């Protein structure tokens, strides 16, 4: 199903033959031999770097290897030509029938076309969003949510066993702030006059929470000290905020497999056990930190602390795990949390963070390295900021606390599909401009609509064919005769379709879902190009008057395009549109 993998296997077989007949020496490393689409289509259909990669070890000239390899490869009937070019590239051309064979494959697999076994069922944990449960999600969280969710789907599609996870920071002191803020709203619901000092959350979203609390407990907490209500309201408010956050995520179509409560680590002795274990390894110790390199803070004072030896694993300084009052820092439960993840048997951990957390990457990697003894990789993906615009002008957010642009604001305005696609049209580590007007623009400048429009056009042809009484069911199209598909513009589309399984694996390998968005744009472009050529070259139209077999063959090609668009959008979490009138 992956033509590039097929030809790669063919090249390796040919190289092995060259070894056994003495053309090449016996002990060679083929792991760097690649078969890729060439940058320039004029060079051919596929190119291999085998000759250049092996030249040094084989003590031969690249071109000599390439010449010999070319002879082997052209013996295979899938290869129509193999030309040596440049410093030793071997450019291959494949028989059109080979490319066209991808069409029934795609139609047969449907939305599973491109699904890969690459992951081999390995368990991967993707942690994303993990916003503090103190309010609704805002735009910054939105990008992380979309990225993490699409990445999780991508890995699932690539054959990994994926868990989508959200850790609730419900143990820290910010929850006390939340509880006090809710208490004020509770008093307010009772008709009390209240003011909101600095350091509490003044947002309107807590008003209904205070009201609901009043409905639940009546006047039980009025004029009572914190000792009476703090713990109760902490729990109540955290639950309310998580309901809010789950509802926000649902607006985007994001559904977590697991919500992990940080607080659950506190009462169970898990933190203590985990740190004790590290202490036995000499990785937790009492010590004094050096002042930071470079400019020391004005109020620097050296003090003895309980430290985790993250410098053993590449961090810049060791990190404190306990405060001077004896309570844990945020870092201690984080260590225990990742220990918990590892105990659940994950082969790989992925963590999605906002760019403002870049300073935590080294210590997180240090934790995972230390706890797993370097057996489990952690990949941290940082999502850069989203800059909001409205009609080209920066969208002003009021600095008054509580009036930020929320995820709900964005999704209500442009819809979940547009939000998701646009958020994935940039690499995660590049800043993203999000213009409320431009993302709704219905033109090719807007990749969302360009891709959707291609799919809509294809479905339009299918409808028209059906209306004309033609059988265009997938079952029929799978067996359609594609021998009339000979034009370069048509074969270009078939080649692009054939790239999909390979692209998917590359995107999964590098944890980069944005590659799918760019690929779909390219595929749509090849399709639109073909469509338009049909205006002048009537042979290229998909519906050929009175020639049912030919029409079905051509329609099978574009139906395969539609299949890939659906599969690709499915991974991104975007619903394909069948009609756009």
Partner RNA sequence: GGUCCCAUAGCUCAACUGGAUAGAGCACCUGCCUUCUAAGCAGGGGGUUGCAGGUUCGAGUCCUGCUGGGAUCACCA
Footprint of RNA on residues 77-106 (CB under 7 A)? 85-89, 91
Q: Give the C-alpha distances (Å, rounded to integers) separating 137 from 145, 234, 387.
A: 10, 19, 16
Q: HEC string of 319-388? A: EECECCCCCECCHHHHHHHHHHHHHCCCCEEEEEEEHHHHHHHHHHHHHHHHHHCCCCCEEEEEECCEEE
Distance in Å, CB of 189 to RNA, minimum = 27
Question: Given the complex with RNA, which of 49 and 552 has the nearer CB atom?
Answer: 49
In the 8-state DSSP scheme, what is residue 264? Answer: G
Which is it for the CA torsion 322, 328, 332, 334, positive or negative?
negative
- The binder of RNA chosen from 444, 470, 474, 548 (CB under 7 A): 444
End-to-end CA distance of the chain: 35
Taking residue 275's Cβ as centre, other Cβ atoms within 10 Å add up to 21
Q: Which of 219, 532, 539, 549 binds RNA (CB under 7 A)?
A: 532
CA angle 216, 218, 220 (to 5 degrees): 110
CB closer to RNA out of 196 and 521: 521
Give yes or no for residue 515 binding RNA (CB under 7 A): yes
Query: For 373-448, where are the E strands, in sequence order?
Result: 378-383, 386-390, 393-394, 432-435
Binding of RNA by 240 (CB under 7 A): no
DSSP E strands in 95-160: the ranges are 123-127
**Contacting residue, 59, 280, 303, 467, with RNA by CB under 7 A:** 303
Residue closer to RNA (CB basis): 213 or 448? 448
Binding mask 177-216 for RNA (x = CB under 7 A): ----------------------------------------
| Three-state DSSP state, 285 | strand
Q: For residues 251 and 571, which CB has a smaller minimum distance to RNA in the complex?
A: 571
Of 214 and 554, the one with the shorter C-beta distance to RNA is: 554
What mask of x and - would describe binding to RNA in positions 55 to 74, judged by CB under 7 A?
xx-----x------------
Q: Which is nearer to RNA, 236 or 434 (CB)?
A: 434
User: Which of the stretches 137-145, 212-220, 450-458, 562-570 binds RNA when contact is defined by CB under 7 A?
Assistant: 450-458
Torsion region of 374: left, alpha or beta (phi above 0 gives left; psi -120 to 50 gives alpha): left
Q: Which is nearer to RNA, 12 or 187 (CB)?
A: 12
Tell me how many residues contact RNA (CB under 7 A).
Answer: 107
Parallel, antiparallel, or unpaired for β 123-127 and 79-85?
A: unpaired
Beta carbon nearer to RNA, 251 or 380? 380
- Of 255 and 463, the one with the shorter C-beta distance to RNA is 463
**Least distance CB 330 / RNA (angstroms):** 3
Shortest separation between residue 296's beta carbon and RNA, angstroms: 8
Label residue 172 left, alpha or beta by phi (over 0 means left) and psi (-120 to 50 means alpha).
beta
Q: Which of 143, 575, 39 is nearest to 387 (CA)?
A: 143
Q: Interface with RNA includes 313 (CB under 7 A)? A: no
CB of 232 to RNA, least distance (A): 20
The half-sphere exposure of 415 on its side-chain side, counting CA atoms within 13 A, is 10
Q: Is 570 in the site for RNA (CB under 7 A)?
A: no
Residue 295 engages RNA in binding (rule: CB under 7 A): yes
* Of 279-287, 400-408, 524-532, 560-568: span binding RNA (CB under 7 A): 524-532
Binding flag, residue 538, RNA (CB under 7 A): yes
* 292 CB neighbour count, 10 Å cutoff: 11
Rounded Cα gap, residues 308 and 317, in angstroms: 9
Interface residue with RNA, options 5, 28, 543, 548 (CB under 7 A) = 543
- For the segment 454-513, give every residue that binds RNA (CB under 7 A): 456-457, 460-461, 464, 502, 506, 510, 512
**Cβ neighbours for 160, distance < 8 A, ≥ 6 positions apart:** 119, 121, 122, 123, 124, 348, 508
Q: How far is CA 434 from CA 142, 320, 409, 465, 474, in A?
A: 12, 38, 13, 39, 38
Question: Pairing state of beta strands 123-127 and 161-168?
Answer: parallel
Name which of 281 and 464 has its Cβ closer to RNA.
464
C-beta of 149 vs 512, nearer to RNA: 512
DSSP-derived secondary structure letter, 406: B
Residue 539 makes contact with RNA by CB under 7 A? no
**Among positions 248, 262, 348, 490, the unique one binding RNA when judged by CB under 7 A:** 262
Q: Hey, which residues between 30 and 49 contact RNA (CB under 7 A)? A: 34, 36-40, 42-44, 47, 49
Q: Which of residues 371-400 bind RNA (CB under 7 A)?
A: 382, 384-385
The reply to whether 174 sits near RNA by the rule CB under 7 A is yes
Determine if 272 is a binding residue for RNA (CB under 7 A). no
How many CA atoms does the CB half-sphere of 288 hold within 13 Å? 7
Restricted to residues 129-158, the positions that interact with RNA (CB under 7 A) are 132
Residue among 395, 405, 438, 425 nearest 142 (CA): 405
Q: Binder to RNA among 397, 481, 529, 549 (CB under 7 A)?
A: 529
DSSP 151-183: HHHHHHHTT-EEEEEEEE--SSTHHHHHHHHHH
The region of 67-75, 265-273, 437-445, 567-575 touching RNA under the rule CB under 7 A is 437-445
Show contacts with RNA in window 274-293 (CB under 7 A): 289, 292-293
With CB under 7 A as the contact rule, the residue among 352, 449, 513, 562 that binds RNA is 449
How far apart CA 143 and CA 17 sit, in angstroms, is: 50
Q: How far is the CB of 190 from RNA (least distance, A)?
A: 30
């Amino acid at each position: 199903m992956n033509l590039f993998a097929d030809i790669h296997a063919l090249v390796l077989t040919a190289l092995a033959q060259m070894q056994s007949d003495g053309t090449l020496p016996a002990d060679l490393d083929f792991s760097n031999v690649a078969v890729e689409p060439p940058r320039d289509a004029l060079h051919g259909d596929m190119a291999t770097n085998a000759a250049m990669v092996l030249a040094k070890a084989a003590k031969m000239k690249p071109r000599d290897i390439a010449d010999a390899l070319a002879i082997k490869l052209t013996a295979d009937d899938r290869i129509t030509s193999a030309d040596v070019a440049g410093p030793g590239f071997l450019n291959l051309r494949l028989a059109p029938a080979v490319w066209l064979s991808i069409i029934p494959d795609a139609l047969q697999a449907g939305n599973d076309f491109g699904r890969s076994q690459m992951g081999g069922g390995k368990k991967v944990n993707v942690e994303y969003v993990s916003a503090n449960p103190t309010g609704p999600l805002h735009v910054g969280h939105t990008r992380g949510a979309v990225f993490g969710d699409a990445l999780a789907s991508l890995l699932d599609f690539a054959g990994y066993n994926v868990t989508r996870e959200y850790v609730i920071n419900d143990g820290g002191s910010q929850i006390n702030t939340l509880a006090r803020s809710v208490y004020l709203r509770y008093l307010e619901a009772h008709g009390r006059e209240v003011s909101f000092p600095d350091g509490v959350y003044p947002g309107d979203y807590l008003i209904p929470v205070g009201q609901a609390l009043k409905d639940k407990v009546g006047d039980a907490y009025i004029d009572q000290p914190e000792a009476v209500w703090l713990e109760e309201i902490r729990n109540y408010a955290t639950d309310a905020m998580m309901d809010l956050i789950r509802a926000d995520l649902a607006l985007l179509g994001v559904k977590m497999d697991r919500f992990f409560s940080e607080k659950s680590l506190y009462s169970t002795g898990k933190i203590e056990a985990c740190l004790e274990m590290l202490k036995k390894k000499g990785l937790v110790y009492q010590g004094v930190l050096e002042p930071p390199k470079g400019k020391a803070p004005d109020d620097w004072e050296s003090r003895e602390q309980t430290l985790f030896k993250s410098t053993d694993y590449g961090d810049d300084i060791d990190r404190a795990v306990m405060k001077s009052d004896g309570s844990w820092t945020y870092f201690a439960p984080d260590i225990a949390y990742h220990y918990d993840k590892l105990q659940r048997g994950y082969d790989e951990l992925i963590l999605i963070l906002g760019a403002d957390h870049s300073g935590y990457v080294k210590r997180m990697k240090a934790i995972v390295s230390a706890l797993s003894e370097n057996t489990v990789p952690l990949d941290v993906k940082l999502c850069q900021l989203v800059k909001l615009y409205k009609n080209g002008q920066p969208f002003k957010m009021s600095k008054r606390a509580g009036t930020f642009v929320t995820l709900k604001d964005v999704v209500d305005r442009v819809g979940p599909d547009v939000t998701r696609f646009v958020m994935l049209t940039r690499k995660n580590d590049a800043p993203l401009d999000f213009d409320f007007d431009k993302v709704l623009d219905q033109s090719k400048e807007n990749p969302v609509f360009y891709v959707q429009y291609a799919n809509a056009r294809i479905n339009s042809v299918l409808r028209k064919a059906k209306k004309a009484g033609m059988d265009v069911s997938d079952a029929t199209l799978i067996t359609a005769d594609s021998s009339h598909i000979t034009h370069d513009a048509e074969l270009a589309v078939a080649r692009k379709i054939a790239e999909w399984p390979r692209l998917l694996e590359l995107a999964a390998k590098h944890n980069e879902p944005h590659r799918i968005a760019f690929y779909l744009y390219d595929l749509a472009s090849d399709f639109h190009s073909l469509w338009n050529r049909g205006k002048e070259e009537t042979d290229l139209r998909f519906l050929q008057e009175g020639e049912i077999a030919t029409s079905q063959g051509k329609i099978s090609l574009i139906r395969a395009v539609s299949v890939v668009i659906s599969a690709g959008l499915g991974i991104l979490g975007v619903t394909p549109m069948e009609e756009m009138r």
